[in-house]
Amino acid sequence: MKIALGQLSLHWEDKEANLKKVRTCLALLASRQVSLFLLPEMSLTGFSMHTDKTKEVHRETVQKVGELARQYQTAIGVGWVKDLGALCENHYSILAPEGELLDYAKLHPFRYAGEHQYFQGGTSLPVCICEDFVIGVQICYDLRFPEPFQKLSKEADLIVVPANWPAKRREHWQCLLKARAIENMSYIAGVNCAGWMDGQEYSGDSGLYAPDGAVLTPEVLPLDGCANEQILIYSLANDVCQYRNAFPVKEDRREDLYRIL
């Protein structure tokens, strides 16, 4: 399977400008037979808590990006904000030409930045199938909590982590992506934004990590924005079972014990 990570410099709270950028990326990828194109968290707005500007009742982002998935015949992962009334949810959907494969709501609002005042946490861990991979999602701050990754990795071969992760904590981002790959023996795809938004710098540092923690080498397509704005393309075979059979760490997990400690 070919996977592309869109490390984009997002236009702050401008859905139409970012949707135009997504179209440009898909046109660049059209000849490369990419099966799955992944975008950062809150893909068409950047990480904003101005929910009056970002929230959606009728899933407009899902509808528009779903049309692009059909037009370009590739699955697309996109982040958006769901209006629930008093609070919202931070969502990420994977949309294929044939329809929606997955819709996930971020489990852990980022209390440090006040996200919990505008967003409630999700309550489920959906997975989907794309070609020969079972895929799960965790969003940005979720990366700091290992338990859902262990739960997902019972089914998922690939866990996607879309983010708006700031440059000042880039070492945490890279370290935790690698750790989640190693401890779950799953592929981990971290896709972050790049450049500046709302006074915050984002360094990108997107990447695909193998089940042994190795950072895979992509084909890089530079874009016309900031220096770190680019698309990273990977060709991936599902060899998760081989990794796990060769080094069967998961067989030694004591989940019954963990629940009572």
pLDDT at 224: 86
pTM > 0.85: yes or no = yes
CA 197 to chain centroid, in Å, comes to 19
Report the pLDDT averaged over residues 41-62: 97
Alpha-carbon separation of residue 194 from 2, 165, 166, 258 (angstroms)? 22, 9, 9, 38
pLDDT per residue over 110-135, tens digit each?
999 999 999 999 999 999 999 999 99
Nearest-angstrom CA–CA distance, 188 and 19: 25
- Catalytic positions are 41, 106, 140
pLDDT band at residue 226, thresholds of 50, 70 and 90?
confident
Closest by Cα among 219, 212, 255 to 235: 219
Report the pLDDT averaged over residues 216-242: 95
pLDDT per residue over 128-182, tens digit each?
999 999 999 999 999 999 999 999 999 999 999 999 999 999 999 999 999 999 9
pLDDT at 131: 96
Q: Return the DSSP state at 126.
A: -
pLDDT at 227: 84
pLDDT at 169: 98
Say if CB 15 and CB 43 are below 8 A apart: no
